[in-house]
Amino acid sequence: MTAVMVQGCTSWAGKSLLTTALCRWYARQGLKVAPFKAQNMSNNARVVDGGEIGVAQWLQARAAGVEPDVRMNPVLLKPEAGTSQVVRLGRVGAELSRRPWRDRSEALWPTVEAALTELLAEYDLVVIEGAGSPAEINLAANDIVNMRVAERADAPVLLAVDIDRGGAFAHLYGTWALLPPSQRERIRGFVLNRFRGDASLLPPGPEQLERLTGVPTVGVVPMIRHDLPDEDGAALRAPARGGLPPVAIVRYPAASNLDEFALLEQVADVRWATAPWHLDGAGLVLLPGSKHVASDLAWLHASGLAPAVVAAARAGVRVLGVCGGLQLLGRRLEDPFGVDGSGDGLGLLPLTTTFAPDKLVRRRALTLPAFGSPWVPLSGLPVDGYEIRQGRTVDEDGAEPLVVAAGNVAGWYLHGLFEDPAVLEALFGARPTRTLDATFELLADAVEAHLDTELLRSLAGAS
């Protein structure tokens, strides 16, 4: 029953990336490692046995070399208009989703505690990721993700700060100072994350900070160029690739599962489209998943992107919708149960979607059908993906297609196909050269080079 926890002074301090790196590094030491994040907030999710979890924990499990499990992210909050959908142990909790935020925590804590207890019993080490900051004193009474978890797991804490933002030493000291003494004692090391610059300029900052707090700085991690998606999946890192028309991914406000397009950056010049002119010159227009299809449809019209997408399709540009994007490309959205909203779709595919209260969450393998131009290279490819959706979509014959194409417009319900090298090669004539596993190794190498590995071993009881 051993655990190590990564907390941050702020959101976007690099907790997820550092946790992923530690999962792979500890696994390289011969330990059976599980990731854990009590509560995540993201519209990017992956389907595992039992339901859906945040993509960060899915990646961390892959880094650790173990099968992702709903217990690794027992609570997932998926933002909606004015509230959030609560996913508990992989499944939507409708009653919990209706509760005010502050009333949810005590109801969710038994689920968090049980999942953590089971993982601690089954694995040599659980690497835990916090959320936001442990020093959000206005939220301390409702904490189920930071120090309350560290105390339950009896976990030492590494506190990370994004030094690239500036004010790193103040962030570290202020976070430490706002915690009660018993929680301060859990912090065993500070990590200066995302550093770029002259390391000789850091002294005497770390030494003075240690004199004030008693906590050493145990690592200065450089800014690492990697291929993992950011938490919201919408930060482009790859340089533009010449010679190919760009891929324009329409980023509506409730866009979901944007992380699945991270590999696409290796084979195409990707841009996020939030205005009509962002489609200019595109060789492919992508409509991604949506957590709120009707509101995103309204946004498409308000922004002028709805007619721009239709015009691009009529001009012969390839247009492809994934899940909610497929629904948007259809003729009509019906909502008899008040789940999402009704409205006329973009009318580019002969489909009608009727929303239903039940959410479909499953993995799905299939062989793509025979396509006409310009999708011929996709014909007959075996693919493996996952569905996260509400609603039933039918074509003119009443059939419920998972994949549909009409000329240069196509759509599929499966997420994850843009992570399949064969699909990318069929669409763009090239395969990604950098694998997910190579990225995990890169991150573990950074741990080895830039953190106090003897301390890491001692925290895990491995020295």
Cα–Cα dist 17/176, whole Å: 22
Instruction: Write out the E strands in 81-234.
Output: 83-88, 91-92, 125-129, 157-162, 187-195, 217-222
Q: Mapped to the 3 state alphabet, what secondary structure does 208-238 carry?
A: HHHHHHCCCEEEEEECCCCCCCCCCCCCCCC
Cα–Cα dist 263/268, whole Å: 9
Give CA angle at 384 (382, 390), nearest 5°: 125
Tokens of 227: 């291929």
| Locus of tokens 């499966």 | 414
Query: Which one-letter amino acid corresponds to residue 139?
Result: L
Q: Clarify whether 415 is annotated catalytic.
A: yes
Q: Clarify whether 323 is annotated catalytic.
A: yes
Cα–Cα dist 367/387, whole Å: 15
Neighbours of 283 (CB within 10 A): 16
CB 431 within 8 A of CB 336: no
Helices then strands, counting H and E runs in the chain, come out as 14, 24
Q: Which of 278, 292, 415, 450 is catalytic?
A: 415
Q: Which of 23, 278, 323, 450 is catalytic?
A: 323
Rounded to the nearest 10 degrees, what angle do helices 168-178 and 205-213 cross at?
10
| 51 three-state secondary structure | strand
User: DSSP labels for 244-275?
Assistant: SPPEEEE--TTEE-GGGGTGGGGTS-EEEE-S
The residues assigned a catalytic role are: 323, 415
